[in-house]
Structure 1
Amino acid sequence: MKYDFTAIEAKWHKIWDEKQLYAARTGSDAKKFYALVEFPYPSGAGLHVGHARPYTAMDVIARKHRMQGENVLFPMGYDAFGLPTENYAIKNHIHPAVVTKNNIATFRGQLQALGYSFDWDREINTTDPKYFKWTQWIFLQLYKNGLAYKAKMPVNWCTSCKCVLANEEVVENVCERCGSPVVRKEKSQWMLRITRYAQRLLDDLDDVDFIERVKIQQRNWIGRSTGAEVRFGSTFGDEITVFTTRPDTLFGATYMVLSPEHPLLERWMDRLTNADEVKAYQEAAAAKSDFERTELTKEKTGVQLGGVKGINPVNGKEIPIFISDYVLSTYGTGAIMAVPAHDDRDWEFAKKFGCEIIEVVKGGNVQEAAFTDCATGVMVNSGFLDGMSVADAKKAITEYLTEKHIGEAKVNFKLRDWVFSRQRYWGEPIPIVHCPKCGTVPLDEKDLPLELPDVESYEPTDDGQSPLAAITDWVNTTCPCCGGPAKRETDTMPQWAGSSWYYLRYMDPHNDEALASPEALRYWSPVDWYNGGMEHTTLHLLYSRFWHKFLYDIGVVPTKEPYAKRTSHGMILGEGGIKMSKSRGNVINPTDVIAEYGADTMRTYIIFIGDFEKAASWSTNAVKGCKRFLDKVWNLAETVTDHETAYSTKNESILHKTIRKVTSDIDALKGNTALAALMTLTSTLTDNGCNAAELKTLLQLLSPFAPHICDEIWQQHGFEGICSVSAWPAYDESKCRDAEIDMAVQVNGKLRGTIHVAADLDDETVVQTALADEKIARFLEKTGGALRKSIVVKNKLVNLIVK
């Protein structure tokens, strides 16, 4: 009978759905296992192989745990607010809600076609008011606890569209949509105070099972550094606060640099002797991105402030003050002290602008041929610090700064507060009203969800406000506090909002009274295994951990971390290792692969493609190879006509070894080697003959990878139940050994042949067998050597030492 994958897959999708075969049961007595994949943004292009790789891998893991008797929650949803949908809606005059609905329908169909064991009853959509009601509720709790606030922030401003752009809308300093220049300007934005959680976000990484490169990225993004805050004086009378990790080098600070946006500049501008030059530089800096400004290889630029000097607090020396675009207002204090003798960047700047260079750590000058680490040298030219080690000098200078009230020890973080508002339409409305009498007032929780008005135009306004600002019927409202006239907040939340807590909603998606019930949260928390792309291991993962910790603090969730385990996958490249793109015409559509080869072939290949954590290249020939493997399984099944319940002697060892390997490889994300073992097993069973018991085990081991064909063959052979949810096979360690093995035979340490013997043979018999081997005997006779001693490595080799 032909392997008709199209009919078989459609049949089993219907059966799985009717039986709700993969539904998770909250409160079950079985051990719970919560497997999570990052939910997709439902673009018009539909699912691509980049989605299929992590989804298939986690589906394999979820299916295996389910077969091991665990109560598995494996859900799916859609991160559906966002800029691409809004831009598409503006261009094509289609409501974003309609675009989203159509895109989700496409994604759902593709996901179902691949046979993923999602619990479809728990499907969520971040644009559903029943969902974003609770996103808004979380925002209100953040606001009430002082973690949501408004502040002026530098933003990307399109000079043509007259609107604020997200970073992803800016390509090479021009607007992605219109191609006009993008500049930096200050605008009032909603912010979330994630910095209050910086230390906890760092410390608690020790308690989770994240792959090391994910932890490294988290730690680097948080960027904890210890040092001191130092208050420099100025000849204008104002203090200039800097943060430094090397307060021991203060005596070598020969100039200062302020960011072009530093607030002191506005205060000083009318007293500066070169104000026009300073203003021109500020305008030029505003046209650059943060990345451009901080690029290490770029030439250093700057302007010295005329008419003012800084004052080094440890020696009273007046030093020049510059502005330069490599100093950012959003990092540290927006001002630095420069020690050019011991910092490459400062040295380059000092040489260009003729600043003094004073060595303060002996042997630590960056330009010395015999340069040594300046963190381990001895202090020189540093007053009372001279002769001290760097470590002792750090302690002494910090005590001095504190005693003299000109500084103190300080811990600084690179992490900045989260810019949380967007001046766009397609996002969650921020549930705040602005009252001329009461000020900023949160919406009453009973009035959630606050929904978007249904309008025809989503174009940004001329002054850069959200399109919502022009919808006066929606904007004009009453104050929840005094009942007087007020206006709604017109900024909307970023796409990050809905994705920061979605894993909690899966636990109880139909709850109208809470984001999830306490019972569901206690049962399912934390997520046991979360897989996602490396591109999301900084911002998304950090934001999500922050929201979770806040919810933990206010008693909503029972665990301090949302995810017990986090892994990441490599991307899939086109044929020949070239990145897939529409322009190259090498994008692989999973739907096309399914149509030609079947979902099981697609699933099997996407796992077999290579090491899960590394990038891998698509190969159409390899896809065909996986199809031939499944054909071979189908053909093997047709040869089985008995009803044996035990393994045959000749196949027993390889079956137990394969069970052991596939069991361990799946949870180690080594599905490619698990499949290689299954291919070997299939070939062996084809050569040796296969009985019903052996076929049954093969199907169970293959089922997580290729569930449709396995469920079909299982049913055809009358095995009990459905293969997908049958019990995972067990192995006996004592039966994982081969009855007979090949051992290497060495003579004086050099390989001279092999012998085929029984496993675990005693040493004496092994040696006698080796000596009796015709090839070895001839060699010994030819050399005329007599056996002096022998060395046996059990089941591996025997080394014959001769004179």
Structure 2
Amino acid sequence: MKYDFTAIEKKWQEKWLKEKTFAAVNGDASRPKFYGLVEFPYPSGQGLHVGHARPYTAMDVVARKKRMDGYNVLFPIGYDAFGLPTENYAVKNHIHPAKVTHDNVANFRKQLQMLGYSFDWDREVNTTDPDYYKWTQWIFLQLYKKGLAYKASMPVNWCTSCKIVLANEEVVEGVCERCGGEVIRKEKSQWMLAITKYADRLIDDLDGLDFIERVKIQQKNWIGRSEGTEVDFTTTSGDTMTVYTTRCDTLFGVTYMVLSPEHPFLEKWKDQLKNWKEVEAYREEAARKSDFERSELNKEKTGVRLQGVAAVNPVNNTEIPIYVSDYVLMSYGTGAVMGVPGHDQRDWEFATKFGIPIVEVVKGGDVTKEAFALKDDTGIMVNSGFLNGLTVKQAIPAMKEWVTKQGIGHPKTNYKLRDWVFSRQRYWGEPIPLVNCPKCGWVPLPETELPLLLPEVDSYEVTDTGESPLAKMTDWVNTTCPCCGGPAKRETDTMPQWAGSSWYFLRYMDPHNDKALASKEALDYWSPVDWYNGGMEHTTLHLLYSRFWHKFLYDIGVAPTCEPYAKRTSHGMILGEGGEKMSKSRGNVVNPNDIVDQFGADTMRTYIMFIGDFEKAAAWSTQAVKGCKRFLDRVWNLAEACTDSLEHTPKHEAAIHKAIKKVSDDIEAMKFNTAIAAMMALVNDFYADGCTRGDVKTLLLLLSPFAPHMAEEMWENLGFAAAEGKMACQMPWPTYDAAKTVAASVEMAVQVNGKLKGTVIVPTDSEEQDVVNAALAVERVAKAVENGTIVKTILVKNKLVNLIVKG
């Protein structure tokens, strides 16, 4: 019978949908629960790509196996559908963003179903659905009421041509990605979320989580907690500059100071600076650069010395110059840093360029570019007054104590993490449910008025002042204050795309609830997510933001656990053929639809799991896709090659039990490629020595998570569905007998003086003399030793025996 994958896959997809085969059941106490989660997609116009298919297929394999293991599995899907790409497309093509989103979601849904994913489609969510974003707005109001949402003036990216605020990813080499216009930095009032108040918990609570190590490291590095000291430097202007340092022991080596171009002291000192015009020009140049460009370690050091104001080193009262340089960011620390060029590469490069003195304070020989590094704890302090002779480890607490007693400093814990800039001057996002009243200030909407719906607008373009398109909707903007009843105006900024994706995993637990974001019963039953897989590009911001929101919801009694995800894994990127990143410009983008049309969804799924180590990048190979199709063809043809017996072929019993163990272990370890290789080897055995329906039955159960459509069709054709009353995906997962994973006998190579002379079949783990006796019964072996004496025997158990003969 021909393997008609198109008809077969359509048949089973329709059956699964109609019968709701993969529906999860809230509160089922008869089975253990398993909540497997994939990052929901942004439904772009380009549709699903193979980058989506890799993690989705992997977690689908895990979810399918867990169901067969007896778990009540929640494996949901939805769409992260607000955001900039849709809005830009809508503006360009004059189509409402809601229409664009609707069409893109429909296409994504069709593609996801085309690949046979076992999602619970009754739990599908969409962040642009008012029934969903009602609860996003509700969470924001709780954050506001607890003082964690506040307004602040922040530097933003401003396109001088489009007259709009740009996200960081829209700025490419200092110009607007859309129009090529010049981008500058300007101050703008923005809504902020105080994620920094959760910084310690976001680090400390990682210890109890089953996250792969590189994910934990990225989280910790992004938060960037460090223990240091804030130290005050007086200036000749009478002002005091405060700096933060983790190495206060090096204060005697400070030979200059640097201010951020945005530091308020520069404006304050304007009349005192003899070279203000030069400073002003440098500040304007710095405003054209992104924070990323400014903080790049390998970039050329630039700056301007302030002529007219200097600083005083507090430990030796030495007057030192002050510079303005763009590598110092106002958003980190105090916007001022001290320069220790004797022991820091960046400072050394800066001092060398501007001819600033370099002082060694930790003994280590000549201070050169090759020997600038700070010494470890055992380094000895020199040129450091009362610290001389101490080790670095001793000097740090000694200096901390000294600056504290002198009243010029104090210990401080610092973080790289900044509070979350939460507002966007865009249309396609969740409206922020606050009004601004001249009498009452910012007032939250009553929760009974949620959701605050996006109004219909004729134009999605931002205003000339950079405000949201909503600012032009005066009928919507002008409202009454919920507090005093007087005239008030709605907030016209909208929430960022990150908002809806920070809690979506909770809505999956109870997606149709109109009284709460999810019922207490559903949250208690499903929490936490047992296994979350996603891309490494989302292991900083998205993971951090969602953990923050979840911890807040835990604090106010909504979420039952303090962490949302018990386990987090990550996958490697799929590259184009030749190992280059896929892109339209290279013409190497692989469309899943094309693969499915030509080879079928099961081949696509099998190949995407066979492509290589799941955690590493892997290059696409059309030839390897064809190889996976040949493998499935061979499995299909076993239906006509097998005998009617439902027992395992005795000769295959060990191989089958070994395969069950291997595939079981490898799915849990996300070693999908070697699991498939084990099944390929089993199929080779079946073809070599024949097989029974019982052999094939076990193979189909192992293959079912990977190639579910074909497995179900063969299961039905071979009569198993009728006999068991269940589909393959509903059957218990095969179990193995550890004793049977070892074959009763093995074939061993026999060598004489290192040269192969034949093979013998002996009982597994045979003793050396038994193997030798069996070997000597082989004619070629007997002939090779007949004229000599065996002086030594080398036995590699169950593999080979080498007879060393002399004479």
TM-score normalised per structure 2: 0.96
> Measured at CA, do residues 283 and 112 of structure 1 come closer, stay the same or move farther in structure 2, by a change above 3 Å?
same
Query: Runs of 5+ in structure 2 lacking a partner?
Result: none
Distance of aligned partners of 1:753 and 1:682 in 2 relative to their CA distance in 1, 3 Å threshold: closer
Partner SS, residue 578 of structure 2: helix
Q: Structure 1 CA distance, aligned partners of 2:226 and 2:780?
A: 68
**What does residue range 125-524 of structure 1 map to in structure 2 within 5 Å?**
125-363=126-364, 366-367=367-368, 373-375=374-376, 376-524=378-526
Q: CA deviation at 1:684?
A: 1.8
- Of stretches 109-118 and 291-300 in structure 1, the one that deviates more from structure 2 is 291-300
Contact persistence 1:42–1:80 (CA under 8 A): yes
Letter in structure 2 aligned against 1:336: V
Q: How does 1:371-770 map to 2 (within 5 A)?
A: 373-375=374-376, 376-640=378-642, 642=644, 644-719=645-720, 720=724, 721-744=726-749, 755-770=760-775
Q: Note if contact 1:37-1:58 (Cα within 8 Å) is conserved in structure 2.
A: yes
CA distance in 1, matches of 2:195, 2:84: 24
Distance in 2 separating the partners of 1:732 and 1:555: 46
Residues 1:660 and 1:440: Cα distance change in structure 2 (over 3 Å)? same
Q: Tell me how far apart the structure 2 counterparts of residues 770 and 366 of structure 1 sit (CA, whole Å).
A: 71
How far 1:762 moved relative to its partner?
2.8
Aligned partners of 2:637 and 2:748: how far apart in 1? 35
Q: In the alignment, what sits opposite 1:22?
A: 22
Distance 1:391 1:624 in 2: 61
Check whether the contact 2:790–2:803 (CA below 8 A) recurs between aligned residues.
Answer: no
Q: Matches of 1:763 and 1:213 in 2, distance apart? A: 47
State the SS of the aligned residue for 1:531: strand
Distance in 1, Cα, partners of 2:522 & 2:238: 60
Query: C-alpha displacement at 1:740, in angstroms?
Result: 2.1
One-letter amino acid matched to 2:319:
E
Query: 2:109 corresponds to which residue?
Result: 108
Report sequence identity in percent.
Answer: 71
CA distance in 2, matches of 1:611, 1:751: 35
- What letter matches 1:97 in structure 2? A
Partner AA of 1:50 in structure 2: G
User: Which 10-residue stretch deviates more, 504-513 or 647-656?
Assistant: 647-656
> SS of the counterpart of 1:108?
helix
Whichever residue aligns with residue 427 of structure 2, its letter is Y
Structure 1 position 768, deviation (Å)? 2.6
SS at match of 1:757: strand
Match of 1:795 in 2: 798
Residue identity matched to 2:620 = W
The one-letter amino acid paired with 2:97 is P
Q: How far did 1:53 drift? A: 0.8
Compute the displacement of 1:687 (Å): 2.9
> In structure 2, what is the Cα distance between the partners aligned to 1:357 and 1:581?
48
CA–CA distance in 1 between the matches of 2:411 and 2:417? 19
Q: 1:163 Cα shift?
A: 0.8
**Aligned-pair CA distance for 1:482:** 0.9
Letter in structure 2 aligned against 1:795:
N
**Matched-pair contact (CA < 8 Å) for 2:643–2:691:** no
Q: String of CA shifts for 1:19-77, please: whole Å, max 9, x gaps.
A: 11000001112110111000000001111111111111110110011111110000000
Matches of 2:123 and 2:317 in 1, distance apart? 67
CA contact (8 A) 1:342 1:364 kept: no
Is 676-685 or 255-264 further displaced after alignment? 676-685
SS in 2 for 1:579: coil
1-structure distance, mates of 2:216, 2:371: 35
CA apart distance, 1:752: 7.6
| Cα distance in 2 between the residues matched to 1:746 and 1:711 | 48
Cα distance in structure 2, aligned partners of 1:371 and 1:473 = 64
- Superposition pairs for residues 109-124 of structure 1, below 5 Å? 109-124=110-125
The Cα of 1:542 is off from its aligned counterpart by 0.8
Give the Cα separation in 2 of the matches to 1:521 and 1:133: 18
Question: Hey, what's the Cα distance between the residues in 2 that align with 1:704 and 1:414?
Answer: 43
Whole-Å separation in 2 of the counterparts to 1:7 and 1:302 = 68
Contact conserved, 2:341 with 2:372, CA < 8 A, in 1?
Answer: no
Find out whether 1:5 has 2:5 as its counterpart: yes
For residue 715 of structure 1, report the CA deviation from its aligned partner. Answer: 1.2
Deviations 1:372-399 (A, max 9, x none): 7523321111111111111111010000
Q: Is the 8 A contact 1:50 1:571 kept in 2?
A: yes
1:364 and 1:371 in contact (8 A); partners too: no
Q: 1:486-508, CA deviations, whole angstroms, 9 ceiling, x for partnerless residues?
A: 11111111101100110010000
Residue in 1 aligned with 2:52?
51
> One-letter code of the match for 2:339?
A
Q: How many residues matched?
A: 800
Distance apart, 1:754 and its partner CA: 5.1
CA–CA separation in structure 2 for the residues paired with 1:243 and 1:516: 44
Contact 1:343 1:366 in 2 (8 A): no
Deviations along 1:635-682, whole A, 9 cap, x unmatched? 11123462x332121221111111111111111111111111112212
Letter in 2 for 1:78: Y
The alpha carbon displacement at 1:790 in A equals 4.5
The whole-number CA distance in structure 2 between the counterparts of 1:776 and 1:751 is 9
2:448 counterpart letter in structure 1? K
Instruction: Give distance in 2, aligned partners of 1:437 and 1:242.
Output: 39
Q: Tell me if the contact between 1:378 and 1:389 (Cα under 8 Å) persists in the aligned partners.
A: yes
Q: 1:750 & 1:520 partners in 2: Cα distance?
A: 68
Task: Measure how far apart 1:447 and its partner are.
Answer: 1.0
Aligned alpha-carbon RMSD (Å) = 1.8
Task: Determine the C-alpha separation between the residues in 2 that align with 1:172 and 1:186.
Answer: 20
Secondary structure of 1:350 counterpart: helix
SS of match in other structure, 1:52: helix
CA gap 1:366/1:724 in 2 versus in 1, 3 angstroms: farther
The offset of 1:546, in angstroms, is: 0.9
Give the deviation of 1:795 after TM superposition. Answer: 2.5
CA distance in 2 between partners of 1:786 and 1:71 (Å) = 63
Q: Secondary structure at the match of 1:288?
A: coil
TM-score, scaled to structure 1:
0.97
2:798 partner amino acid: N
Superposed CA offset, 1:677-728 (max 9, x none): 1122122223322222112111111110111111111112221211111111
Alpha-carbon separation, structure 2, partners of 1:485 and 1:669:
59
Distance 1:681 1:241 in 2: 69
User: Secondary structure in 1 aligned to 2:270?
Assistant: helix
Q: Distance in 2 between matches of 1:385 and 1:745?
A: 73
Deviation for aligned residue 1:579 = 2.0
Give how far 1:366 is off.
4.5
Q: Distance in 2 between matches of 1:365 and 1:563?
A: 51
Aligned partners of 1:543 and 1:372: how far apart in 2?
35
Distance 1:485 1:532 in 2: 46
CA distance in 1, matches of 2:249, 2:309: 25
TM-superposed CA distance for 1:748, in Å, is: 7.9
**2:342 touches 2:372 (CA, 8 Å); kept in 1?**
no
